[in-house]
Structure 1
Amino acid sequence: MTTLGAVFLPYLPPERLRSVARAADEAGLDELWLWEDCFWESGIATASAALAWTERLRVGVGLLPVPLRNVALTAMEAATLHRLFPGRVDIAVGHGVQDWMAQVGARVESPMTLLREYTIALRALLRGERVSTQGRYVRLDGVELQWPPDQSPTVYMGAVGPRTLRLAGETADGTILTGGTTADAVRRARALIDDGRTGDTPHRVVVYLHAATGPDAAERMAAERRRWKYPDDADVTVTGDAEAVAGAVRRWADAGADSVILQPTSDDPDPEGFVRFAAEEVRPLV
């Protein structure tokens, strides 16, 4: 069954998260995803708060930029969240935006090498293993979590290009596909992920889908498309009522997405209403 969620965009002030998360939880939304975009809001801090404010909502961080974070720290934070809120947490890692990484002095010569080393080490730590490695970027000497998760959690990787998609299939448990991914691109991504896979464990694919509803949805989405510089003919957004949005969700799901996460416009006038719309009106139609 397709999982439906929504994004709490970091362009909203952090103090708005509580009401949005509670609205999503009360309405029965499956998932709420948060971003750690530089230099807006912390992914771990917001995830912890959203989980504490809700009862059943699954919260994802998509994604943590690995050049900013020592892998042992990420493992400690992820493990703590998984033990505090078992079964309700998803964590994704990725290259990060290279311009942002350069701004903070964290850009590396080979982002692909770092992401590979980091993901392998992170998953091993979260399995409760004692890890020693001397990689190009990731160096650990007998590091072992004292409070690992009770069960090995899913680690997602954010991926766009072919090499990273294959790497996600090889080293991660799931893949995050950014907003602006067409349904056909989901199919191509699935094939590349499968090229990299070495086992038969299910690999989950999560895709963000730009969506808008309400009387000014078309105008807001047109501005959003300009903001992201999408070509006029790119089929990467949906506007309209619940039937229209649900139809788009089904198309992306049919293309291979296990979870479709609705991404509101950056100027959505009612974020609480958006998550209720997703849960109460779109979800029954998917």
Structure 2
Amino acid sequence: MTALGAVFRPQLPPEKLHSVVRAAEGAGLEELWLWEDCFLESGIASASAALAWSERLRVGVGLLPVPLRNVALTTMEAATLHRLFPGRVTLGVGHGVQDWMGQVGARVESPMALLREHLDAMRALLRGERVTIRGRYVQLDDVALDWPPATDPAPPAVLAGARGPRSLRLAGEAADGTVLDANTDRAGVRRAMELIEEGRAAAGRTDRHQVTVYLLAATGPDAAERLAAERRREGHDADADLGVAGDAEAVARAVAGVAEAGADTVVLQPTADEPDPEGFVRFTAEAVRPLLG
């Protein structure tokens, strides 16, 4: 069964997170996803709070931009979360928005090389290995976690955000899953799945690969107008086949379509001007989820 989640967008102030988490937990939402966008909110700090304020809710961070982060620190934070809240954490890493990376002096010549090195090192450290790497960007000398996460039945998954063909193949080769953003329509999900599988085949991988897809969604009396405005903000035509506006049945049909295209998890992404964030997570859990079977 496809998992269903919702996004807490960092355009909301950090202090708003508590009420959204409590609404999500109370409504039985499966997953709440957070972003680490410049220069809004920290993914790890927000995830720690959300996990502490809930008992059952799974929390994802998609994505942590690797140019901003030393891999040892990212992995220490990941391991700590996995030990404190076992089974409730999903972390994804990615290239980051290159203009933002340039603003902070972290833009690199080869984002692909950096992401591959970060994924290789992070996954090895989370497996409890002692790691020495002399990479182009990642440098580790005899590093191991003193408090690695549990690896039974498997080490924690590390997902990669990807959009272009090279990044999608890399996600298949070097990550445990892929996060596709809300600019991906159903045909794009299918094409992404093909590219991910090409990468997995090249690496000889047969393990599980989780695919999480964000789906832009709006509901309420002004849903169509807000969705069209969001598309324009993202650089698309207002009538582009991206996202869904309407009632629970319309949203559920769109979720089912993305799931049929290959998503293991569909995460409803509200518009940046969503007027009722708490209501949105309740709508996701209480109105949309029951229609998915």
Q: TM-score, normalised by structure 1?
A: 0.99
Structural RMSD (CA): 0.7
Instruction: Give the letter aligned to residue 124 of structure 2.
Output: A
Secondary structure of the structure 2 residue equivalent to 1:133: strand
After superposition, residues 143-222 of structure 1 pair within 5 angstroms as: 143-151=143-151, 152-197=155-200, 198-222=204-228
State the partner residue of 1:269.
275
Contact 2:228 2:238 in 1 (8 A): no
* Aligned-residue offset at 1:279: 0.1
- The separation in 1 between residues aligned to 2:85 and 2:262, in whole angstroms, is 28
Contact 1:29 1:57 in 2 (8 A): yes
- 5+ unaligned residues in a row in structure 2: which ranges? none
- The separation in 1 between residues aligned to 2:198 and 2:128, in whole angstroms, is 28
Instruction: Give the letter aligned to residue 132 of structure 1.
Output: T
Instruction: Give the letter aligned to residue 192 of structure 1.
Output: L
* Aligned-residue offset at 1:237: 1.1
* Aligned-residue offset at 1:232: 4.1
Contact 1:23 1:272 in 2 (8 A): yes
Contact 2:229 2:238 in 1 (8 A): no
- The separation in 1 between residues aligned to 2:167 and 2:80, in whole angstroms, is 28
Contact 1:183 1:251 in 2 (8 A): yes
State the partner residue of 2:22.
22
- The separation in 1 between residues aligned to 2:192 and 2:213, in whole angstroms, is 11
Runs of 4+ in 1 over 2 A off after TM superposition: 231-234
* Aligned-residue offset at 1:231: 2.5
CA deviation string 1:55-102 (max 9, x = no partner): 100000000000000000000000000000000000000000010001
CA deviation string 1:13-61 (max 9, x = no partner): 0000000011111111110000000000000000000000001000000
Structure 2 residue 250 is the aligned partner of structure 1 residue 244: yes
Aligned residues: 286
Instruction: Give the letter aligned to residue 158 of structure 1.
Output: G
Contact 2:66 2:96 in 1 (8 A): yes
- The separation in 2 between residues aligned to 1:232 and 1:267, in whole angstroms, is 16
- 5+ unaligned residues in a row in structure 1: which ranges? none
Identity %: 72
State the partner residue of 1:96.
96
Contact 1:182 1:234 in 2 (8 A): no
* Aligned-residue offset at 1:146: 0.4
Q: TM-score, normalised by structure 2?
A: 0.97
* Aligned-residue offset at 1:233: 4.4
CA deviation string 1:181-202 (max 9, x = no partner): 1001000000000000021111
* Aligned-residue offset at 1:284: 0.6
